[in-house]
Chain A
Amino acid sequence: MTNHWVDIKNANVIVIMGGNAAEAHPCGFKWVTEAKAHNKARLIVVDPRFTRSAAVSDYYAPIRPGSDIAFLGGMINYLLTHDKIQHEYVRKYSDATFLVHGDYDFGDGLFSGYDEEKRSYDKTSWSYQKGADGFVLTDETLQNPRCVFNLMKQHYSRYTPEMVSRITGTPKEQFLKVCEMIAETAAPNKTTTFLYALGWTQHSVGSQNIRTMAMIQILLGNMGMAGGGINALRGHSNIQGLTDLGLLSNMLPGYLTLAGEKEQDFAAFLDKRALKPLRPGQMSYWQNYPKFHVSLMKSWYGDAATRENNWCYDWLPKLDKVYDVLQVFELMHQGKMNGYFAQGFNPLASFPDKAKIGAALARLKYLVVIDPLATETSEFWKNFGEFNDVDPSGIQTEVFRLPSTCFAEEEGSLVSSSRVLQWHYKGADAPGEARNDAEIMAGLFLRLREMYRQEGGAFPDAILGTTWPYRIPESPSPEELARELNGKALTDLVDPKDPAKVLAKAGEQLGSFALLRDDGSTASGCWIFSGSWTQAGNLMARRDNADPSGLGNTPDWAYAWPANRRIIYNRASCDPSGKPWDPKRKVIAWNAKEGKWLGMDVPDMRPDAAPEENVGPFIMNPEGVARLFAVDKMAEGPFPEHYEPFETPIDTNPLHPRVVSNPAARVFKGDMDAFGKAAEFPYVGTTYRLTEHFHYWTKHAKLNAILQPEQFVEIGEDLARAKGISAGDRIKVSSNRGHIVAVAVVTKRIRMLDVDGRKVHTVGIPIHWGFKGVARNGYLANTLTPFVGDANTQTPEFKSFLVNIEKA
């Protein structure tokens, strides 16, 4: 979230689309209720199902799964044609005025530079025009046909209300009603906030779903405002933290990135990431990249990391491609992986096409499952009848299952969706011999290190050189690790402006990432967490819930990254002269007398940057402003375009029939053949979560199993009637990859929609059952789902695929 849970109460309009906060995030949803009750906010829900979020909304519009870009693109068109944008904000705080490369083009579903063979783009033309001074050329009058604003206008002019309705199945009047309600917040003192979750990410166009919404928030001037922002409601208690810590194939902690194998030159590696400003006077904060990277290396390698050896640059593995989970399971399926670890993760249940995942695991030499619970993955080799019909004797994988502690039995911090790091404490010992994850990792690492020390082996340098400064090496404590994450001074840090002043003494915890240096004098395991455990102690354990501004910011409750800032981009909550767009919701303002930015939040701006300096509020972008035109950042184009799901119920794309689905999405050989066609599988399947369950965990908890004991699927009344299915019947749901059998719930909540002249029915498939647990055994829902992901993130397309149903 750019903002935070409590801040939702400050919104005027709340849109829940691609999520279902009332059921998936119930205690966060209370702030929607609060906004409605005390801020006269209106709630809009756009969803294929009339969810419990929809049940308390002021306005609900149905939509076909996988057509969100058409809906939101149509909204952009509406805002532009009805002149409902926050003009000054768009002109000053976005790249609307920037001129785009002359070769950039879009036509018939493809952007310039497409290579059909490689299913990817040469993105050279997806860039800005630059002047002789190296800065981007702009047109403040917005007259130039090559400026971003006009190209955007042209791009979305095709998204007429009629076209939107034809693609999405949303009746035109309902679409227009939603546009009208949102458009009111183009007023500088009004905000819309968008709440979304996996309903937007789990598509082959997931990232672009979110980008389209982000563009709307820029056009409305909602970023940085209290009650505005882009609010991803994340799915696990520390999924934000693990993302922050870079536990992804190509990442390092703090959104630093690993090098590609071609990046053999360290200076060039840093230079490419230390982005220079594209406009005069901009902060382009990533210019500090070398400080963050070198501090991480000092944290990992200590004295071994020196300027001479490029801070051990060669020790880091280099990428030839990204090894996301779909790529890894594809390789595993081909027999190219030997070992795999699942730490608190249940891939057999979580990844698409269960049959393929099971077959892939069966080709491993060893699998290690570290978990508090007996997961399906740990028993993928065992026969559970119809739910997991395998022959153990034919599976040669050695499987280890290691018991780990759960939340109640361990200490440490978790990052909530609000980016708030909250410390928690241990309440009891774990059952039996369970150990915590850090102890298990230490146990493995120390054994390996000893083996390499004694026996040698492949490239032992990084293993032997990794710092392990923990008092009990077999059990690094959360306090030690949290201090390492924050970082410390390795030598006395002298103020560059005043040599007499020492900012931090050697060995002291750092107060902020602003103190990090690229000369080896500081260490920090994750720069964005710097400030969380300072000389003042553990700020993540703070419990002052005072709310001095009344806007719900609670600045002394725990610790928010970055820099304890609760609303990111908050400079944009003020007009260019430094006055709040809405004085009633003042986050920060320029204080001319003191010559700095002050307010209820930590300013997201150089503290003394006077408004006349025109330093843009989007400090992480080298432009200094927000991008309506994504330049080369996205795989499938600088402007989001509607592409059909890989399994489409309409067999075409009404905007451009020759380019139906995402042309830049990666599809593995064999998986293309495993896609179903509408003739055989006419209904749209979509997976989702229930109020009473959490993923595949709570089926192990009795109370939750009692609340929702048995697997079911939801179908609309029209479809039930057509198929002769009554509520309570057992039905078989099939896709081209397998089938599940479940009880039918016949409901008014899922409507039939008219899409491109066809009647499209949706089948709702809750995901929470499996063959382990105290609930009644059921099928893993991912037996049905397709093995294809978003072109940028490779998040699988679980929200829109094709199925057929019949009475079982």
Chain B
Amino acid sequence: MQVSRRQFFKICAAGVSSSSLAVMGFSPGTALAQAREYKLSRATETRNTCPYCSVGCGILMYSLGDRSKNAKSEIIHIEGDPDHPVNRGTLCPKGAGLLDFVHSPNRLQYPEVREAGASEWKRISWDDALARIARHMKADRDKNFVARTDDGLTVNRWLTTGFLAASAASNESGYLTHKVVRNLGMLAVDNQARV
């Protein structure tokens, strides 16, 4: 039974209660309060890849915020990408918890330093952190860099500082990391493939 909005108000005005209307199986099309909008319908969908194991499951991330300059996006939901040929929309128990990884209370927020012998962290600026680290690196490199061995071989290596690279980082980050550390002369370089 179709009832237009106008008719509905007429019926109401005639003194029939809405609850009895429902009992009669008499449900007006658009007049009553609308069901709450599906939350994801106004979210922005972004395609990504699960960062855990190497199956490389496609994921869809839903965030609030329209990506305009001052609107801060927040990811509110993550699910498997149904178009992905490997996972076909599924996620495992690890991947199903991805949202809680993104929003973990243990996410780091700002640079910190723990001074020698101290028992607490101290917040510092990015500038201070990078300047201090670079100073440490240069001091160690200048002091311990081996340009030539005692028997005259050109080796240009720096062995007293090492680097572990992140195997969940992108290829692009990994490549830039390699370009930097190798050209400083580092050989103590590895990634999780070793373990």
Contacts and interface: CB of A to CB of B under 8 A. Distances in A.
Contacts of A371: 108
Interface of B: 44, 46-58, 61, 63, 65, 72-75, 78, 80, 83-88, 90-102, 104-119, 121, 126, 129-138, 140-142, 144-145, 147, 149, 153-180, 182-195
Interface stretch (A102-110, A139-147, A497-505, A689-697): A689-697
A691 B54 contact: no
B145 A459 contact: yes
A463 interface: yes
A703 B65 CA distance: 25
A258 B185 CA distance: 11
Contact of A6 (B85, B114, B163): B85
Contact of B51 (A338, A407, A426, A481): A407
A242 B165 contact: yes
A448 to B, nearest CB: 5
A407 B111 contact: no
Contacts of A702: 97, 100, 104
A170 interface: no
B85 A552 contact: yes
A451 B54 CA distance: 40
A795 B130 CA distance: 32
A412 B171 contact: yes
Contacts of A798: 195
Contact of A774 (B104, B140, B180): B104
A341 B188 CA distance: 10
Nearest to A202: B195
Given A413-B170, A425-B48, A239 B192 contact: yes
Contacts of A451: 134-135, 138
Contacts of B111: 400-403, 433
Given A6-B86, A397-B116, A462-B185, A235 B48 contact: no
B168 A407 contact: yes
A545 B129 CA distance: 45
Nearest to B84: A545
Contact of A248 (B72, B75, B157, B194): B194
B101 A698 contact: yes
B172 A485 contact: yes
A339 B145 contact: no
Given A245-B175, A338-B140, A447-B130, A27 B86 contact: yes
Given A237-B51, A400-B129, A774-B105, A448 B169 contact: no
A319 B145 CA distance: 13
B161 to A, nearest CB: 4
A324 B137 CA distance: 20
A442 B190 contact: no
A416 B136 contact: no
A328 B106 contact: no
Contacts, number: 485
Nearest to A239: B167
B137 A796 contact: no
A651 B185 CA distance: 44
Given A239-B193, A444-B130, A701-B97, 17 more contacts: A237-B167, A242-B192, A314-B156, A339-B160, A340-B161, A342-B164, A370-B166, A401-B111, A402-B108, A406-B51, A425-B48, A427-B46, A428-B72, A429-B73, A432-B108, A438-B177, A452-B138
Nearest to B46: A427
Contacts of A420: 56
Interface in A376-427: 381-383, 392-404, 406-408, 410-418, 420-422, 424-427
Given A441-B176, A485-B171, A323 B187 contact: yes
Nearest to A794: B194
The 3 A-B pairs at the shortest CB distance, nearest first, are namely A344-B166, A416-B56, A412-B170
A800 to B, nearest CB: 15
A694 B97 CA distance: 11
B185 A248 contact: no
Given A424-B49, A436-B173, A448-B134, A236 B106 contact: no
A773 B132 contact: no
B102 A408 contact: yes
Interface string A591-622: 00000000000000000000000000000000
A529 B171 contact: yes
12 contacts: A28-B55, A236-B53, A238-B54, A324-B194, A341-B163, A345-B191, A395-B117, A412-B171, A444-B180, A459-B156, A545-B84, A701-B98
Contact of B187 (A249, A404, A416, A463): A249
Nearest to A437: B173
Contacts of B185: 317, 459, 462
A437 B177 contact: yes
A425 B46 contact: yes
B112 to A, nearest CB: 5
A237 B168 contact: yes
A418 B93 CA distance: 21
Contacts of B48: 407-408, 424-425, 427
Contacts of A396: 116-117
B53 A691 contact: no
B116 A398 contact: yes
Interface in A464-505: 465-466, 476, 478, 481-482, 484-485
A776 interface: no
Interface in A494-527: 525-526
A406 B102 contact: yes
Contacts of A315: 156, 183
A176 interface: no
A430 B99 CA distance: 13
